[in-house]
Amino acid sequence: MKVYLAADHGGFNLKEALKAYLQTQGYEVLDEGAHQLEPTDDYPDFMYPAAQKVAADLDSRGIFFCRSGAGAAIVANKVKGVRAVVARSTEDATHAREHNDANVIALSSDSLMAEQARDIIATFLATSFSGEDRHLRRLKKIMKIEEGA
């Protein structure tokens, strides 16, 4: 599975700390930046292009990092086909995948240590969408909204 990473200055160190872990787990890791720590960079510059790549590759996932996770999720959700959530626990990651078929998680570098983030990522990547009728029905409604209906 391809995993797209993106981070601004606030999430840069956490992204870098987890990149090697993902590679050792056999994922094809694509780092969409930031590629160096630049304190004045802006999260939309990294999150939006990375979210576009996730949307274009239905079998991929995105893991985005910023200080709160909120900005990353907001930007990612501007891309049609992306369902991004802020995940602060393994329970959040499980729910996001099973119920919402989330394809991007946004992680808070202010709230999570690398080990916690690793556990959330592992859960997110290992969990499948349940496919239950009620969840499919809701996803179809979201897709209809995305089409402007």
- Identify the CA nearest to 132 among candidates 92, 88, 79, 95: 95
Please say whether the beta carbons of 87 and 121 come within 8 A.
no
Catalytic one of 9, 35, 66, 95: 66
Is position 35 annotated as part of the catalytic site? no
Q: Which contiguous run of DSSP H or E holds residue 63?
A: strand 61-66
> Out of 9, 95, 99, 135, which one is annotated catalytic?
99
Q: At what angle do helices 12-24 and 114-126 cross, to 10 degrees?
A: 50
- Return the closest-CA partner of residue 65 out of 87, 80, 81: 87
Q: What percentage of the chain's residues is helix, strand, coil (to nearest 5)?
A: 50, 15, 35
> If you search the block for the tokens 């959530």, which residue do you land on?
85
| Active-site annotation, residues | 66, 99
